[in-house]
Chain A
Amino acid sequence: MNDIKVNRRGFLKALGWGGAGTALTACDLPTTITLEEGKEEVVAYVVPEEYVIPGIGVWYASTCTQCDAGCGLHGRVREGRILKVEGNPDSLINNGSTCLMGQAGVQNHYNPDRVTQPMMRKGAGLQPISWDDAMAELSKRIKSTSGSKIAWVSGSVSGHQSVLISEFLSSVGSKNHFAHETINSSVWSQVCADMIGDAEPRLRLDKAQIIVSFGADFLGTWKSPVHFAGEYAKFRSGQRGMLVQVEPKMTLTGGNADLWIAANPGTEGALALGVANFILDRGWNKENVPGTVKQALAAYDVDTVAGLTGVPATKIQRIASLFSERAPSLAIAGATVEGQANGYDAASAVMLLNIIMGNIGNTIEAGNKFPERALRAKSGNTGDLVKFAQGLEDKKFDLLFFSNSNPVYTAPDALRVKENLSNASFKVALTQHPDETALAADLVLPLYSSMEDWGSHVPAYQPEKVSLSIQQPLMEPLYKDTRGFGDVMLSLLKVKSNAYNKFPDYYSYLKTAMVNMPESVRSGLKGSRDQMWTNLLQNGVLNAGSNTPKLTPKPRAIKAATVSKNSEYPMHLVPSARLGLWDGRHANIPWLQEAPDQISKVVWGSWAELHPSTAGKLGVQNGDFIRVSSASGSIETQVYVHKGIHPNVVAVPMGQGHSAYGRYAKDRGVNPLKILDAVSEEKTGELALYATRVKVTKTNKSEVLVKMGGSETQLGRGFVRTVSADQFRRTEGEA
């Protein structure tokens, strides 16, 4: 064997000739390699629809339900199957765009692990049951349970689905509707309501010349990300606006910022007050605030604030001068600020900055409100989760309904939701997927996917006009034993009320309700009622006029509480949210598992982000496992070392760590929400998601951290030329 000598050149030569020979004949290899005649079936239509041509897609308008922003969609349907979605250009919310979660909606619909038939608990397990038997059992339970013992837990809900839930609860005499969303902006809304008289003002990112965002990841997870991404593009074009982001862990928005600042967690309010004080001191303010407010601010001189926040005094002065130089400005507060125990005060401090800079009525306008109050969004929050958990603990509920909500997964262990579920004798989950809550329920009712169901959506954050979006099915149901949410609601309503007997299904209810809306709402729709309905389905959206009253700012004296030191648990836990897995509801979508995290580029798993200095002190590097322990529990996951995080913070993304929820989600990564302490925001009662203190310890385990992009540097190869910020400032003006 050793006698045969082939040198490299000879080997390549042989390979080259061989390859050419293969290439010449390969084109004429019979296609039976891939296709066998008579093995596939092709079935024609019995009677074709006039406009349907096999091979050519037809687009239908609908609404995205992947988060509660309510973006309009166009879905491409070919041969009766939904293949692709794009944004609806007529929707003022997303103006023809979608995010990756919207694109992945088709995988939510085609998910192989959907619940396909009703199931009822028999002994320890869930057994299949017919719809008739399920509804018979349910109506028996509804009739025999007193109204106050019935509760409904949902996510954010609006439009006619919201109406039906309210109607059902009032038909049985219950007032227990809990709308729970882990990713929300309810503290900010409360601050807006209290300080400018409008809980959901319209934010004119496009008008601003500088945006200072205190923890609001408006390009990723805050309110209406696709809408804000569009407004942000306007803000950056023309005379380029400047973005300053203050947050403990870099988000997608932080990654886009011109100036990224990590203040000590929980001191962002103090930073805002320090900036406000500096502005007032210099007389750069546009509006005057009462003396009491000024006096309270005096405590926040630059040096004190610098000591408190860890942000150098020069930077605080720079933010303040940017505010005055680059009017109009806009300051907003998001999750990492809202989610502290002092979140309300901190967000108020941010709003005070807006008042001082005269932004009210300028970059902060009154938001549009949908004229029909009953259809307006019930935005989910965590305060409702706390109340629900308390009610469960106090054994207040016998009959529980869950829709579009998975509290067994999202609630921190400290709230004891999972344990206390047994306090309710009968739990009903209306769901599309076998999530953790469904598996803990006594009756599981399988729903249509949002691409099979009807609905109407009035998003909480309304764009320049009052907007309602229609959700129409993009294809026939995949599973014959599933039902529409509205259809199930109507059957539930008919148990105790006769008012809905005239509606055989949700479609007829929705159509009747829509075409009978007051003239002011359906102003854009013309013709007979049938024509109006047709137009509505064709457009997918209803954009009525706008109603913008004047806002009156109510500045008040604010004190931002400081964050105490904790020697046992020295670090802060940031359960970071991202556009993708969201609060964990999309962990069963492989496209979104595969889509890398925008900052760390990690796929299909969990990680704990640490600052290089912290990782150095701990002696860990990328891929090493660490234990993150709070007073309420601990999780173990891999380290990802990154400079875009405060040294005293460990960030673990939410979304993974499912114990059920189908093959793509189950047993993958860890869920940081589980180890959160039950700390509440002091003024609003919201769960303070970002106030948990933790300690981090090293373990002996280490594995390769699976992420796209092997290296974070160019390894000296200079693909992208850079200049230092100092040099840029000298040559190109301010940075």
Chain B
Amino acid sequence: MRFTVHTRNCYLRYCSTIFYKSSRTISTAIYFALASFFIASYAQAELPVPSHIVAPVGEHKGENVPQPIEFPHNTHVKDNKINCMYCHTYARRSKVAGIPPTSKCMGCHKMIATDKPRIQKLTEYWENGESPRWKKVHDVPDYVHFTHEKHIRKFVFDANFPVEDVQQVCGLCHGEIREMTVAEKTKPLNMGFCQRCHQANGGPGDCWKCHK
């Protein structure tokens, strides 16, 4: 059914959008396909590419984006082996992967590492009933319809790929997140990058599939 029960207090805001500030000078260079091929093969040596996928080709030198809390992806992913989709739980259900709700962070951090300053800052947010205002790092323009759900379905669930290794699939577009503290953009996520992967892996080639 399309509808659901409404009660008055049912909206907790998930603000997904919002402020464009004035655009800055573009300092990034244009990438040539050949060069990026070699760099890509070198950079991806660490994280294995699943055998059923041809990795998309392209590199990007991301900026260091300061976040309200310097979230250590490495501690969570590399040291503690937490699955990407444990926190980014909407990736397999929706177009967006979702930033984990504060309640999810606090599920562990009520007990764990409560003496660390970053966790104390997080606890402060939690006690004020707020979420940290994270800065967006990975995004595609509004005229591109990208959905995590379909990509995860094709490359993980339909391919019977082990879910515990899902970071190999995520890493195709998000890079070596397990080595980073706060996320950095290391793949260009532009049309050439998408298009090469679609061609190599049999993704749809119609314009309107992404530009609807």
Contact = CB atoms under 8 A, between A and B. Distances in A.
Contacts of B130: 46
A30 B12 contact: no
Contact of B102 (A41, A44, A475): A44
A540 to B, nearest CB: 8
* Interface size classification for chain B: 35 or more
B52 interface: no
A476 B11 contact: yes
B20 A39 contact: yes
Interface string A4-38: 00000000000000000000011111111111111
Contacts of A53: 90, 93-94, 98
A534 B5 contact: yes
A534 B5 CA distance: 7
Contacts of A38: 63, 65-66, 135-137
B20 A43 contact: no
Nearest to A75: B3
Interface string A44-77: 1111110111111011110000000000001001
B139 to A, nearest CB: 5
Interface in B137-171: 137, 139-141
Contacts of B18: 40-41
A513 interface: no
A79 interface: yes
A35 B140 contact: yes
A43 to B, nearest CB: 4
A613 B15 CA distance: 59
Residue in A49, A51, A74 whose Cβ sees the most chain B Cβ within 10 Å? A49
B31 interface: yes
A27 B30 CA distance: 10
Given A53-B94, A54-B94, A43 B2 contact: no
A653 interface: no
Given A28-B31, A35-B139, A472 B6 contact: yes
Contact of B13 (A36, A40, A79, A534): A79
Nearest to B24: A36
A59 B93 contact: no
Contacts of A30: 26, 28, 30-31, 60, 188, 190
Contact of A37 (B12, B16, B19, B65): B65
Nearest to B100: A44
A80 interface: yes
Interface in A645-682: none
Contacts of A29: 30, 190
Contact of B23 (A36, A37, A51): A36
Contact of B189 (A31, A534, A537, A538): A31
A507 interface: yes
A1 interface: no
A33 B58 contact: no
Contacts of B136: 37-42
B39 interface: no
A51 to B, nearest CB: 6
Given A44-B131, A475-B11, A56 B19 contact: no
B19 A40 contact: yes
A53 B96 CA distance: 9
Nearest to B141: A34
Contacts of A44: 14, 98-102, 131-132, 134
A283 B102 CA distance: 82
Most chain B CB within a 10 A radius of its CB, from A25, A31, A40, A42: A42
A28 B33 contact: yes
A36 B3 CA distance: 37
Nearest to A39: B21
A35 B141 contact: yes
Nearest to A33: B26
Q: Quick one: which of A25, A26, A32 has the most chain B CB within 10 A?
A: A32
A54 B131 CA distance: 15
A80 B17 CA distance: 12
A473 interface: yes
B103 to A, nearest CB: 4
A595 to B, nearest CB: 23
B149 to A, nearest CB: 8
Contacts of A25: 30
Contact of B131 (A46, A74, A540): A46
B203 interface: no
Interface in B17-71: 17-21, 23-24, 26, 28, 30-33, 58, 60, 62-63, 65-66
Contact of A60 (B6, B94, B100, B132): B6
A540 B99 CA distance: 33
A43 B8 contact: no
Nearest to A49: B10
B195 interface: yes
A31 B26 CA distance: 10
Interface in B112-133: 126, 129-133
Given A28-B58, A31-B190, A37 B137 contact: yes
Nearest to B4: A58
Given A30-B26, A46-B130, A55 B94 contact: yes
Interface in A532-555: 534, 537-538, 540
Contact of A47 (B5, B12, B90, B94): B12
Contacts of A58: 3-4
Given A30-B60, A41-B135, A48 B16 contact: no
Contacts of B26: 30, 32-33
Given A31-B190, A48-B103, A538 B5 contact: yes
A45 B191 contact: no
Contacts of B204: none
Contacts of B30: 25, 28-30
A29 B33 CA distance: 11
Contacts of A41: 15, 18-19, 133-136
Nearest to B105: A44
Contacts of B98: 44, 53-55
A28 B192 contact: yes
A167 to B, nearest CB: 24
Nearest to B68: A41
B95 interface: yes
B178 interface: no
B185 interface: yes
Closest 4 CB pairs of A and B: A38-B65, A27-B192, A28-B192, A55-B94
29 contacts: A26-B191, A27-B191, A28-B30, A28-B188, A28-B192, A28-B193, A32-B26, A35-B141, A38-B136, A39-B136, A40-B18, A40-B135, A41-B136, A42-B15, A43-B131, A43-B132, A43-B133, A44-B98, A44-B101, A44-B131, A44-B134, A45-B13, A46-B101, A46-B130, A54-B16, A60-B3, A537-B5, A537-B6, A538-B3
Given A42-B136, A44-B134, 10 more contacts: A28-B191, A35-B139, A36-B24, A39-B21, A40-B135, A43-B99, A45-B101, A54-B98, A79-B16, A80-B13
Interface of A: 25-49, 51-56, 58-61, 74, 77, 79-80, 472-473, 475-476, 507, 534, 537-538, 540
Interface of B: 2-6, 8, 10-21, 23-24, 26, 28, 30-33, 58, 60, 62-63, 65-66, 90, 93-96, 98-103, 126, 129-137, 139-141, 185, 188-193, 195
